[in-house]
Amino acid sequence: MKNAIEIKELTKDYKDIRAVDHLNLEIQDGELFALLGVNGAGKTTTIKMLCCITKPDEGDAFLKGNSICTDSEKVKAIIGVSPQETAVAKNLSVTENLQLICGVHGFDKQTTQEKISQMIEQFNLQSVKNKKASKLSGGWQRRLSIAMALISNPEILFLDEPTLGLDVIARSELWDQIRTLKGKMTIILTTHYMEEAEELSDRIGIMRDGHLLAVGTADALKKMAGKEKFEEAFIAIVKGGAK
């Protein structure tokens, strides 16, 4: 299978702190890859570099063969991003938020209408399509945020902590939405929730202090750490206790 993402020696420093340290990773086409780690592990910085928001200090990454350092426009054309915080225009309705993203991607009127209808149906946004984003619950806002990331038909989708702060029902509903996307595109998911990574991902990468400590399926990581539960395996790997 072809690689959708190839990360080579990617490094980022913030003043005295090395947020990401010579990261090497390959993610396959159509894979749902989760990046796990405690706060400050370097997950969000890695995502920001892959999305061309932050420039790396060393190394490079190739998204569908396009360099984040030299082909950022091509990279931006093939990615969709749902940031950590719910990044929606609060005084715009659900439909207007979707229109905005179509507009900044330069879609014509007909394409815009088609894509909006498609997203509204896919994310069951019919009942709230004319509501202002600020009036939506956290779960609906998060759905809208992901719909905004998907409306440009990205080949690679970045979901940064997509269920952070959601109640258990909203989280379960969002998981269902994410499951429907699996295999249709490459998805990079960052999360703090072990069960989320275990439930949704094909493979999981565990980061600490800017380093990638381990990569594999949930079962492989459990086996590697010699633990039955994934959370215990994660703790063992992060604390350096994995055998």
Name the site residues for other proteins (rule: CB under 8 A).
48, 51-55, 73, 76-77, 79-92, 96, 99-101, 103-106, 132, 145, 148-149, 152
The nearest distance, CB 69 to other proteins, in angstroms, is: 14
The nearest distance, CB 44 to other proteins, in angstroms, is: 10
Catalogue the E-assigned strands of 65-198: 66-67, 79-82, 156-160, 186-191
Q: Which is nearer to other proteins, 132 or 182 (CB)?
A: 132
Q: Which is nearer to other proteins, 48 or 115 (CB)?
A: 48
Euclidean distance between CA atoms 198 and 216, whole angstroms: 11
The nearest distance, CB 75 to other proteins, in angstroms, is: 9
Q: Which is nearer to other proteins, 42 or 80 (CB)?
A: 80
Per-residue buried b or exposed e for 189-219, using 16+ beta carbons within 10 Å of the residue's own CB:
bbbebbebbbebbbbbbbbbbbebbbbeebe
Bridge partners of 182, per DSSP, are: 185
Residue that is written with structure tokens 């082909």 in the block: 71
Per-residue buried b or exposed e for 27-58, using 16+ beta carbons within 10 Å of the residue's own CB:
beebbbbbbbbeeebbbbbbbbbbbbebebee
The nearest distance, CB 105 to other proteins, in angstroms, is: 6
The nearest distance, CB 81 to other proteins, in angstroms, is: 4
Q: Which is nearer to other proteins, 20 or 214 (CB)?
A: 20
> What's phi and psi for 20, nearest 5 deg?
-135, 130
Euclidean distance between CA atoms 239 and 243, whole angstroms: 11
Task: Specify whether the CB–CB gap between 237 and 215 falls below 8 A.
Answer: no
Q: Which is nearer to other proteins, 100 or 235 (CB)?
A: 100
The nearest distance, CB 91 to other proteins, in angstroms, is: 4
Side chain identity at residue 216, one-letter code: G
The nearest distance, CB 114 to other proteins, in angstroms, is: 17
> What helix, strand, coil percent values describe the chain, rounded to 5?
40, 30, 30
Q: Which is nearer to other proteins, 96 or 209 (CB)?
A: 96
Q: Which is nearer to other proteins, 100 or 220 (CB)?
A: 100
